A and B are shown apart, each in its own frame.
Chain A
Amino acid sequence: MKTPAFLYHLYTFYRDGFKNMTVGRTLWILVLIKLFIMFAVLKVFFFPDFLNSRFDNNESKADYVRQELLKINQ
């Protein structure tokens, strides 16, 4: 029966912690807005992974990079 009591304490710990936040509330809002902009906007629309978005497997990625490295020198 110890586990449910522990989980309950854990739950109330975080519940009360978040409820009693003052400056922390503003900070959480700031963090969530920032993470939304970073992952839902910048990552999705502006920062696709160059190789992953063009090639399906490691072999073709390796081929592409090899070609690039050989091409620059020519």
Chain B
Amino acid sequence: MEILSSLVDWSRAQFAMTAMYHWLFVPLTLGLGVIMSVMETLYVKTGNEQWKRAAKFWMTLFGINFAVGVATGLILEFEFGTNWSNYSWFVGDIFGAPLAIEGVVAFFMEATFISIMFFGWKRVSKKFHLASTWLTVIGATISSLWILVANAWMQYPAGTTFNPETVRNEMTDFWSVLFSPVAMNKFFHTVISAWVLGSIFVIGISSWFLLKKRQTDFALKSIRIGTVFGLISSIILLVTGHGSAYHVAQRQPMKLAVMEGLYHGKEKADLQAFAILNTSKTYDNTEDEFLLSIPVPIPGLLSWLGYDNCNAFVPGVSDIIKGGYQLPSGQTALSFDEKQRRGKEAIRSLSDFRQAAATGDAEAKAKAKVGLDENYDYFGYGYIDKAEDLIPNMPLVFYSFHIMVILGMYFILFFIVVGVLVYRKKFENIKWLQKLAIWTIPLAYVAGQTGWIVAEVGRYPWAIQEVLPLNAAVSKISTGSVQLTFFLFLALFSVLLVAELGILTRQIKKGPEAEVN
């Protein structure tokens, strides 16, 4: 079991590192893409060459980021096949279909139009070039849609049925997979967070030009676009953030409890503004949850976020394990023991099904199928040894969630302050704020990464929510081989990141006056 834990941990660590590295590039591609497209649109509409220069400068940075980041997501697919083979087989075409569409449609859309975007300034008409720029960005965004749909299915498996003959999940309703409420909310929340990051990047880099007293007009024009786009995006992000909390509360209540350090459920639950977790607290002792806690002074905010009702009961870790509380559907929540029993029953039915199929006993096969169908929703619980194994790493999820939320609030304030000062023509004289704008760039990345930590670590112990836990999803390969490839990736990613930062910095220093391609 220790070897398996170690294998699972290293496989998780490798997947997390690859995903986090990939997510350094994607949000800037999506966010900067829209901003440069808006600038080019302004150029085409007004004929003002300054907008063209600005669009071309940001387009160059977009290109550098795109080139270094391109295909890094494919490494995740290598890992699925090698490290997570049980999972890869078990999910069947649910993962394959969206990723195939992503590869064929979105990738070729990007690949076609990106060359026109970079090579076509003097070769095609203004409008055709503008259309190509927008289509490149739309292609990149559609790419992210399919990946996020696949991820959302792991959080909320919809539109599928399990086939015990093939031991695979089979898609029964493509539209339920694509338009599952979790997938749609995840798509908008993720893409809009990328727009916020793109806006902060533009404001930060433009502030550097102001500090250097270079390209002032270009910098202020860029900041104006960045603040308007960033403020609108960050306000929409609040709405989609509420949507995320709502869906997590309905379908992944353990994740919500861990996000808020809530061990014992309550009605009219408050959201913590700042808190320090008591690490010796467990779900079955009576110690306090926090060493220090300062709730947001809006009573019942967590209840409202999770259930659209300030008085709603939010179950804590202990309630989820013990069961007995009322679910939003009106049913009574099952205890872990009962879910585990039904999970084992589902696994036994799968075994019976195999034996019946081997002996050609149609009646026993049908009976086993009924037993499997009745208990399949709890299939994964059959692999969980003890209740504690259901609890994700609380400090990591809790602090990541609060860092993300605090940064999200800071970004709104940041966009408002910068926007007002730019409007009053004072921003160019406030050096500390320009420096702060530069330092806000890494904070935007921190917000994005912590958001993914909440989503993915908070899903523990599930590879597929409640159906397949990590210990059943992993390939039985040697831990040493996963460790080796972990460090190989670490080296490769570090070199690529240094290369990107080097090329990006050099290009920024050249400024928009440099004509590049």
Q: Which of A13, A47, A73 lies in contact with B120, CB distance below 8 A?
A: A13
A73–B488 alpha-carbon span in the complex (Å): 33
CA distance A25 to B382 in the complex (A): 54
Q: Please name all residues of chain B whose beta carbon is closer than 8 Å to the beta carbon of A18 when the two chains form the complex.
A: 119
How far, in whole Å, are A28 and B499 apart by their CA atoms in the complex?
13
B70 A31 Cβ-Cβ under 8 A = yes
Quick check: B89 and A65 within 8 Å, CB to CB? Answer: yes
Per a CB cutoff under 8 Å, which of A28, A35, A50 touches B477? A50
Contact A35 B118 (CB under 8 A): no
Chain B residue with the shortest CB-CB distance to A52: B81
Q: How far is the CA of A50 from the CA of B476 in the complex (A)?
A: 9
Least CB distance from A18 to B in Å reads 8
Q: 7 other contacts beyond A27-B68, A52-B81, with CB at 8 A cut-off?
A: A23-B60, A23-B64, A31-B71, A46-B488, A50-B477, A62-B168, A69-B86
Complex Cα–Cα for A26 and B492 (A): 17
A10-65 contacts to B (CB < 8 Å): 13-14, 16-18, 20-24, 26-28, 30-31, 34-35, 37-38, 42-43, 46-52, 58, 61-62, 65
Q: Roughly how many angstroms separate A69 CA and B472 CA in the complex, as a whole number?
A: 6
Q: Known contacts A17-B119, A21-B517, A62-B89; is A46 also within 8 Å of B81 by CB?
A: no
A72 touches B471 (CB 8 A): yes
B503-A48 in contact (CB<8A): no
A38 close to B71 (CB less than 8 A): yes
Q: Output the residue of B383, B472, B492, B517 with the most chain A CB within 10 A.
A: B517
- Shortest CB-to-CB span from B352 to chain A, Å, is 10
Given A35-B71, A42-B485, A51-B89 in contact, is the A66-B517 Cβ separation under 8 Å?
no
Pick the contact of B81: A23, A24, A50, A68 (CB < 8 A). A50
B175 at the interface (CB under 8 A from A): no
Q: Which one of B72-80, B94-102, B277-285, B440-448 contacts A?
A: B72-80
Query: Are A14 and B168 closer than 8 Å at their CB atoms?
Result: no
Can you name 29 A-B residue pairings with CB atoms under 8 Å?
A: A13-B119, A16-B119, A17-B118, A18-B119, A20-B119, A22-B517, A23-B63, A24-B118, A24-B517, A26-B503, A27-B67, A28-B67, A30-B67, A34-B68, A38-B71, A42-B485, A46-B488, A48-B81, A50-B81, A50-B85, A51-B81, A62-B167, A62-B168, A68-B472, A69-B86, A69-B347, A70-B354, A72-B471, A73-B382
Cβ–Cβ contact A30 & B120, under 8 A:
no
Q: How far is the CA of A24 from the CA of B507 in the complex (A)?
A: 11
A42 to B68 alpha-carbon distance, docked (Å):
17
- What is the 8 Å Cβ interface bit string for chain B, positions 52-92, against chain A (1 contact, 0 not)? 00000000100110011011001100110111011011100
> Do the beta carbons of B118 and A69 come within 8 Å of each other?
no
Chain A interfacial positions (CB closer than 8 Å to B): 13-14, 16-18, 20-24, 26-28, 30-31, 34-35, 37-38, 42-43, 46-52, 58, 61-62, 65-66, 68-70, 72-73
Q: Which residues from B are CB-within-8-Å of A73?
A: 344, 347, 382-383
Contact assessment for B492 and A37 in the assembled complex, using a CB-CB cutoff below 8 Å: yes
User: Which residue of B is nearest A13, CB measured?
Assistant: B123
The answer to whether A31 and B67 touch (CB under 8 A), given A38-B75, A49-B82, A66-B167, is yes
> How many contacts A-B (CB < 8 Å)?
120
Q: B interface, how many residues as a size bin?
A: 35 or more
| CB-CB contacts below 8 Å: B95-138 with A | 115, 118-120, 123
B234 at the interface (CB under 8 A from A): no
Write the nearest CB–CB distance from A47 to chain B, whole angstroms: 4
- State whether the Cβ of B286 lies closer than 8 Å to any Cβ in chain A: no
B291 near A: Cβ within 8 Å? no
Of all chain B residues, the one with the shortest Cβ separation from A25 is: B517
> Using Cβ atoms and an 8 Å threshold, which residues of chain B touch A42?
75, 78, 485, 488, 492
- Can you list, as one digit per residue, whether each of B499-517 has a CB less than 8 Å from chain A (1) or not (0)? 1000100010000000011
Chain A residues near B60 (CB-CB < 8 A): 23
**A24 contact set on B, CB distance < 8 A:** 63, 118, 516-517
Q: In the complex, how many angstroms separate the beta carbon of B299 from the nearest chain A beta carbon?
A: 45
Shortest A25–chain B CB gap in Å is 9
Name which of B81, B88, B488 has the most chain A CB atoms within 10 A of its CB.
B81
CA distance A57 to B78 in the complex (A): 20
Residue B46 lies at the interface, judged by CB distance under 8 Å to chain A? no
List residues of B (338-353) whose CB comes within 8 Å of A's CBs.
344, 347, 350-351
B359 CB-CB contact with A under 8 Å: no
CA distance A31 to B120 in the complex (A): 21
* Contact mask for chain B residues 388-430; partner A; CB cutoff 8 A; 1 contact, 0 none: 0000000000000000000000000000000000000000000
Which residues on the B side are within 8 Å of A72 (C-beta)? 383, 471-472
Is B350 in contact with A66, judged by CB distance below 8 angstroms? yes
Distance (whole angstroms) from the CB of A57 to the closest CB of chain B: 12
Please give, as numbers and ranges, the residues of chain B lying within 8 Å of A62 by CB-CB distance. Answer: 89, 165-168
